[in-house]
């Protein structure tokens, strides 16, 4: 079996997306640095590409930095990381096209240095950062010291580098390290929307309700992480809304028809986007990232009822067809 590639590449028009993919921590060894450099090199060798986005697989960790397992295996700090230096871009000084770091999880040590080497950073509100090297008696040596000192007041940069204390994405945004945090939208089913009710009142009080919705995974009347959710919405100037069960089912049918599939609760993301567009909160040219989880076969009885029994048939209803048991007949139906 061939080894899993530590880096994947996707080209979307003029955008090059480079994804670091080394479970569980997305740690970076010399081979991964070289792979990142080779991927980023496409940005400059292909004149049709205009920008690169560097991100990471998973949601918990963007990168834990230098691969300590590799170090314990004999890889030294001065190992050959390739022409771009550690993480492929920390010594890539003469580039002529921008690189964006899309930081979808926490970053430590070399992971922060990778982030700082980008021209622009967009980070998850939940991400945290730190330079733990000081606790090991060393300093970040892939440009972190220089870039932190250049972008932050000296006293603050020294504190973060010498103490190794962690800092949040909100702090990094406030200091100017991260220019942009995404605006969060939380979508609840109308019959289980205590958080949406609290949002409508400016979070003046915490609501609790008896939940009633067809989407079993979000049939929750008293969210456990209320305080953290309030902080996230306020920090990102976010919005909370609710959608009807019928809108959830229609959104799920649309997602399923696309070949992606999701559970009914996750379809709240698409239903919420549609509602925000209807209200004018979202512009047509804005980019939205929707989170889908769960198995598309969850709640099968509910789905059968939607597709087979509701009258008149909903717009996205996929009524079953009875055909003769022959390949030609099946092909004929599929070609309709």
pLDDT in tens, 212-235: 998 888 888 988 889 888 988 887
- pLDDT value for 182: 80
Whether 51 maps to a domain, the answer reads yes
Mean pLDDT of the chain: 88
Answer yes or no: 133 catalytic.
yes
Whether 333 maps to a domain, the answer reads no
- For residue 148, give every residue at least 6 positions away whose Cβ sits within 8 Å of its Cβ, in sequence order, or none: 116, 157, 160, 161
Answer yes or no: 91 catalytic.
no
User: CA 154 to CA 131: how far, in whole Å?
Assistant: 16
193 pLDDT exceeds 60?
yes
**126-130, 180-184, 242-246: which is most confident:** 242-246
- pLDDT value for 3: 67
User: CA 287 to CA 278: how far, in whole Å?
Assistant: 16
Closest C-alpha to 103, from 176, 180, 44: 180
Question: Each residue of 105-159: pLDDT tens digit?
Answer: 889 999 999 999 999 898 887 788 999 888 888 888 888 889 999 999 999 999 9
Do residue 128 and residue 191 come from a single domain? no
Residue 218: domain span? 185-308
- pLDDT value for 1: 43
| 221, 198 Cβ separation under 8 angstroms | no
Do residue 208 and residue 127 come from a single domain? no
Q: What percent of the chain has pLDDT over 70?
A: 99
pTM of the model: 0.67
Cis peptide before 201 (omega within 30 of 0): no
Residue 277 is classified by DSSP as H
Do residue 137 and residue 22 come from a single domain? yes
230, 157, 57, 126: CA torsion to nearest 10: -10
- pLDDT value for 2: 53
Do residue 234 and residue 160 come from a single domain? no
Do residue 208 and residue 279 come from a single domain? yes
Do residue 256 and residue 288 come from a single domain? yes
Closest C-alpha to 127, from 107, 150, 155: 107
Helix/strand/coil percentages in the chain, nearest 5: 40, 15, 45
Do residue 281 and residue 262 come from a single domain? yes
User: CA 275 to CA 288: how far, in whole Å?
Assistant: 13
Whether 1 maps to a domain, the answer reads no
Question: Each residue of 262-288: pLDDT tens digit?
Answer: 888 899 999 999 999 999 998 888 888
Number of domains in the chain: 2
Closest C-alpha to 34, from 89, 72, 93: 89
Spot the catalytic one: 133, 250, 263, 275.
133
Closest C-alpha to 315, from 249, 270, 269: 249
CATH number at residue 192: 3.40.50.1100
Question: Each residue of 6-37: pLDDT tens digit?
Answer: 899 999 889 999 999 988 899 888 899 999 99
Whether 319 maps to a domain, the answer reads no
Do residue 140 and residue 189 come from a single domain? no
Do residue 167 and residue 38 come from a single domain? yes
Inter-CA distances, 287 with 142, 184, 220, 314, 316, Å: 33, 12, 29, 28, 24
Question: Each residue of 49-62: pLDDT tens digit?
Answer: 999 999 998 778 89
Whether 237 maps to a domain, the answer reads yes
Closest C-alpha to 297, from 334, 252, 336, 335: 252
Whether 220 maps to a domain, the answer reads yes
- pLDDT value for 196: 94
- pLDDT value for 210: 93
Whether 320 maps to a domain, the answer reads no
Do residue 76 and residue 140 come from a single domain? yes
Do residue 133 and residue 198 come from a single domain? no
> Residues 235-255: what's their mean pLDDT?
90
Do residue 50 and residue 107 come from a single domain? yes
Spot the catalytic one: 47, 91, 113, 250.
113
């Amino acid at each position: 079996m061939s080894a899993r590639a530590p880096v994947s590449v996707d080209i979307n028009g003029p955008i090059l997306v480079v994804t670091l993919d080394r479970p569980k921590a997305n740690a970076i060894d010399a081979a991964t640095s070289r792979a990142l450099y080779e991927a980023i090199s496409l940005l400059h060798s292909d004149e049709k590409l205009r920008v690169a986005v560097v991100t990471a697989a998973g949601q918990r960790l963007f990168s834990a930095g230098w691969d300590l397992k590799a170090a314990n295996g004999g890889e030294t700090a001065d190992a050959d990381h390739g022409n771009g230096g550690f993480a492929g871009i920390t010594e890539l000084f003469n580039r002529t096209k921008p690189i964006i770091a899309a930081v979808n999880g926490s970053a430590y040590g070399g992971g922060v240095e990778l982030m700082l080497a980008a021209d622009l950073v967009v980070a998850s509100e939940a991400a945290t950062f730190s330079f733990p090297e000081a606790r090991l008696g060393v300093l970040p040596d892939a440009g972190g010291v220089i870039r932190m000192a250049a972008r932050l007041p000296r006293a603050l940069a020294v504190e973060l580098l010498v103490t190794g204390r962690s800092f949040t994405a909100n702090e990094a945004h406030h200091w100017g390290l991260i220019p942009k945090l995404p605006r969060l939208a939380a979508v609840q089913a109308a019959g289980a929307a205590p958080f949406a009710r609290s949002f409508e009142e400016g979070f003046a009080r915490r609501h609790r309700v008896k939940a009633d919705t067809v989407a079993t995974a979000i049939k929750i009347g008293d969210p456990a992480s209320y305080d953290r959710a309030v902080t996230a919405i306020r920090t990102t100037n976010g919005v909370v809304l609710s959608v009807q069960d019928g809108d959830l089912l229609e959104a799920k049918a649309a997602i399923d028809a696309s070949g992606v599939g999701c559970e009914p609760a996750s379809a709240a993301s698409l239903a919420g986007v549609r509602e925000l567009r209807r209200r004018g909160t979202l512009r047509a040219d804005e980019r939205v990232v929707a989170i889908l989880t769960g198995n598309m076969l969850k709640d099968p009885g509910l789905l059968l009822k939607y597709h087979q029994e509701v009258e008149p048939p909903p717009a996205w209803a996929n009524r079953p067809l009875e055909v003769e048991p022959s390949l030609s007949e099946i092909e004929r139906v599929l070609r309709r």
